[in-house]
Structure 1
Amino acid sequence: MSHSEASYSVSSSSLIGSLLAGPRPSFSRALWRIAAANVSCGNRLRLLRDGPATFEAMLDLIANARESVLYEGYIFRRDAVGREFAQAFEDAVRRGVRVRVLVDWFGRIPTPVSFFRELQRSGVEVRLFSPPGLRPWLGLLPRDHRKLLVVDRRAGVTGGIGIGEEWQYGLIRRRRAPWRDTAIEIEGDAARDMAEAFEKMWDRSLGRSASRPRLVRAARSSHLNARFHPPALVGIVEGEPGKFRISRALQLQAVAAERSIWIASAYFAPSLAEIEALAGAARDGVDVRVLVPSRYDHVWLRSLMVSGYRRLLRNGVRIWEWRGEMMHAKSSVVDGRWVRVGSTDFNPLGVAINYELDAVIEDTAIGREAEAMFLEDLERSSEIRL
């Protein structure tokens, strides 16, 4: 273990321990402290199970936009799905809506730059995040791996789904099932927090990273007072290089969990600190389950991922492999109460290097739905045994 990882593990564990020592703070307050999350209450939520449901929700939001459309993504294909979204963006511009599209330069490959120039000619503002330059690794790291849409700063969608046919039809169009993935539709203040997150990345793409101070709502303020809490409380966690925010949120949940921790992760290669958190929960009697793919979009990835499972399995963590097409979800549910949906995979790229965005939710209705969805997925999966 490197010195930096050791330092991170100790400092993170100490901070989590101090948060949960003595009188237990509310989860929202703890999430704000541990992950620098913007937290809001009173949000309306809808869990979106797959690509078709997510695309339908996103296109409906774009069609009803009145003032602004913000889209940020890692993958934007020039296929039937990509052209449908391009048309929706162009239609919105013709209605007088300001449309901005931010796509990662590396992730958009093999979509040609000309595709985005056509969007620009129609009035859509387009930026490609971090093209190669005279920097280490030729600018290849970090990447913008986030996936989010925000309309009129009032409603949005985030999750693991990019714009491409693999989420609608599968890699071989109409001959295979679509990739298994998850997203969440949010209406309320959390959508405004997502818009603020977009604005920061837009500034970064223009080289203005310091121009917009981070807005973090204080967890001690009145909107987090227990007597004002409607059920749906949402924290928007922005993963940034070297910040480990979603990892800290996972460790917080692992320490606080009393019954269950169920995780779906497409590229699962957790850090030592994350392994210890999950293994410790399992040893303490918490039902810890992890759902991973059996097929990967890159064939060499499976052997790399499987090599890290043994330590978890020996400590009572149960791992399933999805038997269908690529399982690309990045989600979790804890105690049927806390739900995470976003872009972060538990591996070094997702946790420590790339820009990511996740919605962490405290809501029992969404929690029950997420648990039911996870159990349905396990019926189409095979458990790995030592």
Structure 2
Amino acid sequence: MSNRIFRILLLIAFVVLSGCASLPDTVGRPVSQARTDVADTRLAAVAAASVDAQETHLSGLRLLPAGDQAFEARIALTRAAQKSIDAQYYQIADDASGRQFLRELRNAADRGVRVRVLVDDLHAAGQDALLAGFASHPGIEVRMFNPLAVRDGSVGRRVFFSMNEFSRINRRMHNKLFVADSVFAISGGRNIADEYFGRSEPANFIDMDMLSAGPVVAEMAAVFDAYWNSPHAYPIEELATSISTEAATWHFDKVTAAAASDVAVTAFDSLGQPAIGPQIAAGRVELRMAAVRVVADSPRKADADTESLADGVVMNGNLDLMQSAHSEVLIASPYFVPSRRTMDVLQQAAENKVHISIMTNSLATTDEPLAHFGYARYRQALLERRVALYELMPGDDEREAHADGPHGSLGRLHAKVAVVDRRWLSIGSMNMDRRSAHSNTEMSLIVDSPVLATQVAGMLYTDRLPRSYQVRTTSAGRQGIEWVSQRGGEQVVQRSEPNATTARRLRLQMLAAIVDEELL
């Protein structure tokens, strides 16, 4: 069940259920911190060789646009780690990628690596045995962020029987972070699931991660520690009380026994970059030196009594960056439901003659139709502010075969990036919507690098935008908007929304009438 449907179920329920399950009152939550005794590790030596020792205030960075290379990078770092691995994700799926990821972490723990895994609880329905079995291995700890008290059944069932706690469970940890030996980190938009790494049919996500080394990694490790030690983080064994340790261990070993041990990866991504694993083996990873800062919401954003209409730290940081633009802002976000301040920033940009381009999913490619409907309400207002709007078209096999990620499947935009003046780059977990602004916790990197900013802009302008509908006001003075695409060298104009049947439009209108935009 999708995150949007989850929120609909919460909203339409008007009965506060009695006799609901509750979370444990007392929780054993030992405090721990990122490892700092890592100077003698192999990865520390690789990181030192990969950054400029003279530029101690800069960090080494590399974009990971290809899904297969992004997965291979995580596995390669896991296999090379000697002291610690910290992983924080909104979702670790019980699929081929999730099982392989967990088994590699288990293998690392068997070598003596301390493993801490923090997962948001929403999409962990049915995973108590898997995660408790994983945590039963020595050296591994698993904590669930802001858990639902009901542990059995589907996501829908758990949500329904937790509706008496709407103000709390509506807040989710959306962060994505992986830190190996406190010297390398991967952050960005990808969760751990097949569809983020080009392994799923019939749809895969088009996404973007960043590999980091240098001083920025310590900042990200501190963010992990804040969430790990938060009162919202519950050890899995405190929740999965109906499953014995022996049964959970047996379950984990059984379901991960068949997980793949090899990692199929293309030799070079669309930027001409080789896979990470061979570079780690060679002792040096090719990175770009840049100034970078971490912008992260506090885990206290998940407090039930937090002001829900206040933009979070990450949203404000990104809007401040956009407001600083002199000439151009390019935004890619799978969901775009602007807040009042977002619209104000775009209005100011129009007045200052800053060119704004926004790329998001079309109705045909989105995995969240209701969120798309929320965005559609703002299309006319955005066009009036001279924003260039692009919506990703559904691709056929031939087009997608040349893209990073989807192969022979529907490509869905999931990357969350912004490029300002071809110098500044924001990349992280935050969508440009109300949920990311007000309810979910997020993390982003804001990077001062013309090289990296130009790389992202180039990929979007040369690859994604030509395969998108351009949304514009209708010609010849008619009221309304139209969708323009290029097919076979010819321009195709559609004056009604592609893939929007009357029945689908009516269904979305009915749902939108009862769903507040703050939940989108």
Q: Secondary structure at the match of 1:143?
A: coil
1:119 to 134, 140, 145: 134
Q: Secondary structure at the match of 2:81?
A: coil
TM value normalised by structure 2: 0.59
2:444 to 351, 358, 379: 358
Contact 1:250–1:274 under 8 Å retained in 2: no
Which residue in 2 is equivalent to 1:93?
Answer: 109
TM value normalised by structure 1: 0.79
Contact 2:146–2:232 under 8 Å retained in 1: no
Which residue in 1 is equivalent to 2:266?
Answer: none
Contact 2:116–2:142 under 8 Å retained in 1: yes
Give yes or no for the alignment of 1:280 onto 2:342.
Answer: no
Contact 1:59–1:85 under 8 Å retained in 2: yes
In 1, Cα distance between equivalents of 2:359 and 2:231: 34
Which residue in 2 is equivalent to 1:262?
Answer: 330
Unaligned runs of 5+ in 2: 1-55, 150-161, 235-287, 302-309, 395-410, 474-520
Structure-to-structure mapping, 1:91-170, within 5 angstroms: 91-109=107-125, 111-123=126-138, 124-133=140-149, 136-137=165-166, 139-169=168-198
Give yes or no for the alignment of 1:318 onto 2:413.
Answer: no
Please tell me the residue identity of whatever aligns with 1:337: R
Which residue in 1 is equivalent to 2:226?
Answer: 200
Contact 1:132–1:138 under 8 Å retained in 2: no
Give yes or no for the alignment of 1:380 onto 2:467.
Answer: yes
Q: Secondary structure at the match of 1:332?
A: strand
Contact 2:143–2:233 under 8 Å retained in 1: no
Deviation of residue 299 (structure 1)?
3.0
Distance 1:170 1:93, change over 3 A: closer
In 1, Cα distance between equivalents of 2:375 and 2:200: 21
Please tell me the residue identity of whatever aligns with 1:374: L
Give yes or no for the alignment of 1:57 onto 2:76.
Answer: no
Deviation of residue 53 (structure 1)?
2.2
Which residue in 2 is equivalent to 1:33?
Answer: none
In 1, Cα distance between equivalents of 2:123 and 2:168: 13
Give yes or no for the alignment of 1:334 onto 2:404.
Answer: no
1:85-119 per-position Cα deviation (integer Å, ceiling 9, x unaligned):
0111011101110001000001334x521110121
Distance 1:317 1:87, change over 3 A: same
Q: More deviation in 111-120 or 260-269?
A: 111-120
Deviation of residue 320 (structure 1)?
0.4
Give yes or no for the alignment of 1:190 onto 2:219.
Answer: no
Percent sequence identity over aligned pairs: 27
In 1, Cα distance between equivalents of 2:174 and 2:379: 25
1:10-30 per-position Cα deviation (integer Å, ceiling 9, x unaligned):
xxxxxxxxxxxxxxxxxxxxx
Deviation of residue 250 (structure 1)?
2.7
Contact 1:132–1:139 under 8 Å retained in 2: no
In 2, Cα distance between equivalents of 1:289 and 1:73: 29
Which residue in 2 is equivalent to 1:35?
Answer: none
1:138-190 per-position Cα deviation (integer Å, ceiling 9, x unaligned):
73132111001011111101111001111123652xx55x2101111111111
1:45-84 per-position Cα deviation (integer Å, ceiling 9, x unaligned):
0011142221111111111111110000011111110011
Contact 2:83–2:181 under 8 Å retained in 1: yes
Q: Secondary structure at the match of 1:184?
A: strand
In 2, Cα distance between equivalents of 1:276 and 1:289: 16
In 2, Cα distance between equivalents of 1:248 and 1:136: 28
Distance 1:50 1:351, change over 3 A: farther
In 2, Cα distance between equivalents of 1:300 and 1:244: 23
Deviation of residue 206 (structure 1)?
5.9
In 2, Cα distance between equivalents of 1:353 and 1:50: 29
In 1, Cα distance between equivalents of 2:62 and 2:200: 27
Deviation of residue 205 (structure 1)?
4.7
Contact 1:41–1:234 under 8 Å retained in 2: no
In 1, Cα distance between equivalents of 2:232 and 2:442: 18
Structure-to-structure mapping, 1:162-181, within 5 angstroms: 162-169=191-198, 171-172=200-201, 175-176=202-203, 178-181=204-207
Contact 1:159–1:183 under 8 Å retained in 2: yes
In 2, Cα distance between equivalents of 1:198 and 1:205: 13
Contact 1:128–1:205 under 8 Å retained in 2: no
Distance 1:328 1:205, change over 3 A: farther
Unaligned runs of 5+ in 1: 1-39, 209-229
Q: More deviation in 189-198 or 301-310?
A: 301-310
In 2, Cα distance between equivalents of 1:326 and 1:207: 31
Which residue in 1 is equivalent to 2:371?
Answer: 301
Deviation of residue 261 (structure 1)?
0.4
Which residue in 2 is equivalent to 1:236?
Answer: 294
Please tell me the residue identity of whatever aligns with 1:115: L
Q: More deviation in 313-322 or 298-307?
A: 298-307
Distance 1:100 1:346, change over 3 A: same
Which residue in 2 is equivalent to 1:37?
Answer: none
Contact 1:67–1:97 under 8 Å retained in 2: yes
Q: How many residues align?
A: 322
**Once superposed, which parts of structure 1, at least 4 consecutive aligned residues long, lie more than 3 Å away?**
133-136, 205-208
| RMSD of Structure 2 on Structure 1 (CA) | 2.0
Which residue in 1 is equivalent to 2:360?
Answer: 292
Which residue in 2 is equivalent to 1:82?
Answer: 98
Larger radius of gyration: 2
Please tell me the residue identity of whatever aligns with 1:149: F
